Chain A
Amino acid sequence: MESASPSEPRTLFDKLWDSHIVVPESPEAPAMLYVDLHLVHEVTSPQAFAMLDERGLKVRAPHRTFATLDHSTPTTPRRKGERPVYVSPAARAQVERLEENCARHGIPLAGWGSFDRGIVHVMGPELGLTRPGMTIVCGDSHTSTHGAFGALAFGIGTTEVAHVLATQTVLQRKPKTMKVHVDGRLPYGVGAKDLILAIIAKLGAGGAAGHVIEYCGPAIEALSMEGRMTVCNMSIEAGARAGLIAPDEVTFAWLSGREYAPKGAAFEAARLKWKQLRSDKGAHFDREVRLDASRLAPMVTWGASPHMAAPVDATVPRPKTADDRKALAWMGFAPGETLLGEAVHTVFIGSCTNARLSDLREAAFIMAGRHVKPGVRMLVVPGSERVRKAAEAEGLDAIFRTAGAEWREPGCSMCIAMNGDSGRPGELVVSTSNRNFAGRQGPGVRTVLASPATAAAAAVAGAITDPRKMMEMCGAA
């Protein structure tokens, strides 16, 4: 294994990689990497626990493991003390299996009734479980979200979940590195979601395969932690193994005071260490890509893959491939037409991409004093119990309810549509989630990915709309 000598400039990724090697990689075998934090949810874990049982193995480090319920759980509002009603007996059994497995192995679980419960990638950062310099894995491809804190975080399969439960390590070949440098500043009305959709459109659905992306440059530094999480979250949609952003004062301010973050002198000591977590000057990246944020506009997708994205006011591009043609046929869009004014049936605000407090504020800013177009259904699903409580304390729930939207319980909901929350066949859904794959939000459901502002504007207009128009009206009022 070739490892850079200490004097050689290293990337942030190199530093994270080097500090977690239990056994270095060889021609015969990948590296064994130590896992600092293993996040677990109900969908990708039952068979992994069964693999441990088959061999009579225990969980090696329950204290480095943290579980939540998010994917199969209903988000239907309940009265206090009322039991959740699942979409199917199988969904209930899956949740109960995780409850049993956690109890049996001593794994902390943010279950029903816990104020910590939330979408796994909203919960981790919010509790301060996610910290700079860590390695974090989860049986979930959007684990890349946690890279926003300068942690090496990636999704794994269920067999690998068993590996981590049993050994706290994961086998990995060292990936390549890619630098995505974003110059300039995002214009008014253009946010982190628009930025990452533009990056994915530029890279392609598999354009970053085999790479870990480090996002940097002034436009990235100017993002809030929530915005950084939105960017890193969708790294996988360009095929990347993980996304990273070097931690800075914005990161440290977010972490300060979080439940599991170090406190007092320990925090100051940690901060000094965290400050070293940046790519050295002159560090080598296998690929470099540049983008100018100031030229970006609100983005929407026109096809059935996240890379099929364009500015909301652009026309639908001419298909370049058979897949483009198939995607346009699926969406019912024609090349050369504008998507502005395209009728929308359902709007979903939520998911590990866009269900944090700032996302809900962004949507509420548009909704305040307006109403969801009659005939349109709008679901607002906070990312966690904490987000819900904070939003309710600010009165955001009242804004959404008054506008005619449904204010629901936290969970993955319509992003993955396995809990009963889904669109109906043929519907067009504008969604703040991360995947517009055919049928992802229900059989026959067509998805347009967008920012919270664009999604909210679509709910008001009942059609795809440039959210900047509604922001101007807010400003003028």
Chain B
Amino acid sequence: MQREPITEIRSRSFALHEHNIDTDQIIPARFLTTTERGALADACFHDWRFDEAGRLNDHPLNAVGTATHAVLIAGDNFGCGSSREHAPWALRDFGVRAVITTRAGDIFKANAANNGLIVAEIDADAHAALLERTGEEVTVSLADMSVTSGNVRAGFSLEPFARTCLIEGHDALGFLLAREDAITRFEQARAA
């Protein structure tokens, strides 16, 4: 199915310095009873952003202009923990289009790619330099696989198939379905 092709995200950044931000922080489990998509903006980092009475608190995330700040710079091992795809769903609903980190959880990375969320893993020095520029404009480019902000520039790699899907707006299910013959052959060879 066709999605919006993404070549580049250019936006202001916001930062979460913590390492090992797990998917329970990104979206607490009690919001996982949904059977739908697209209404998880409030659930995103809910327990960081709301007090016990359900009012927005003074967490810096609540000062982020989500329409203008679509790039999240996060600490190491971002998105570790559970496999819930609700994590990239919630980030997208909150307004995040790209996450820049030094390393992200394996399942989170796969889920992000399937939801048009770019995860750019860059080296620690560039990451630190980028954090210094939190709030400034950042360009995350899939064309030349770079993160640029002012004079800070870092390359990143993305699994090539995920990159192609993002750039062309394709999804992986179409790719798999187009190889149905190979699946049938595999099943027949095994049964033989």
Q: Which residues on A are within 8 Å of B, measured CB to CB?
A: 22-23, 27-30, 32, 34, 43-44, 46-47, 50-51, 54-55, 57, 60, 71-72, 87-88, 90-91, 93-94, 97, 139-141, 155-160, 162-163, 166-169, 171, 173, 175, 205-206, 209-210, 236, 239, 241, 305, 321-323, 326, 416-418, 425, 435, 437-440, 443-444
Contacts and interface: CB of A to CB of B under 8 A. Distances in A.
A93 B81 contact: no
A17 to B, nearest CB: 14
Contacts of A321: 19
A39 B187 CA distance: 19
State the 4 A-B residue pairs at the shortest beta-carbon distance, nearest first.
A206-B77, A157-B111, A46-B35, A157-B85
B33 A94 contact: yes
A60 B29 CA distance: 30
B24 interface: yes
Contacts, number: 173
Contacts of B1: 54-55
Given A50-B37, A167-B176, 6 more contacts: A28-B160, A141-B82, A169-B183, A323-B18, A437-B25, A439-B28
Contact of B114 (A72, A160, A241, A323): A160
Contacts of A43: 32-33, 84
B22 A305 contact: yes
Interface in B149-191: 159-161, 164, 171-173, 175-177, 179-180, 182-183, 186-187
Given A43-B32, A155-B107, A418-B30, A239 B18 contact: no
Contact of B52 (A206, A210, A425): A425
B85 A323 contact: no
A47 B164 CA distance: 24
B184 to A, nearest CB: 10
Given A141-B81, A166-B176, A418-B33, A173 B20 contact: no
Contact of B83 (A34, A71, A139, A326): A139
B180 A167 contact: yes
A166 B177 contact: yes
B42 interface: no
Taking residues whose C-beta sits less than 8 angstroms from the other chain, chain B's interface range is 35 or more
Contact of A156 (B18, B77, B110): B110
Contact of A47 (B20, B22, B36, B110): B36
B34 interface: yes
A27 B174 CA distance: 19
A321 B37 CA distance: 37
A328 to B, nearest CB: 14
B47 interface: yes
Contact of A44 (B25, B77, B84, B164): B84
B132 interface: no
B21 to A, nearest CB: 9
Nearest to A143: B83
B17 interface: yes
Nearest to A324: B19
A91 B35 CA distance: 9
Contacts of A209: 77, 103, 105-106
Given A173-B159, A418-B32, A205 B47 contact: no
Contacts of A47: 35-37, 85
Contacts of A155: 82-83, 107
B120 to A, nearest CB: 16
Given A47-B36, A91-B33, A171-B172, A241 B81 contact: no
A166 B178 CA distance: 12
B52 A443 contact: yes
A450 B180 CA distance: 46
11 contacts: A30-B159, A32-B179, A44-B85, A51-B173, A139-B83, A155-B82, A156-B83, A157-B83, A159-B172, A160-B114, A167-B183
Contacts of B173: 51, 55, 159, 162-163, 166-167
B83 A141 contact: yes
B177 A438 contact: no
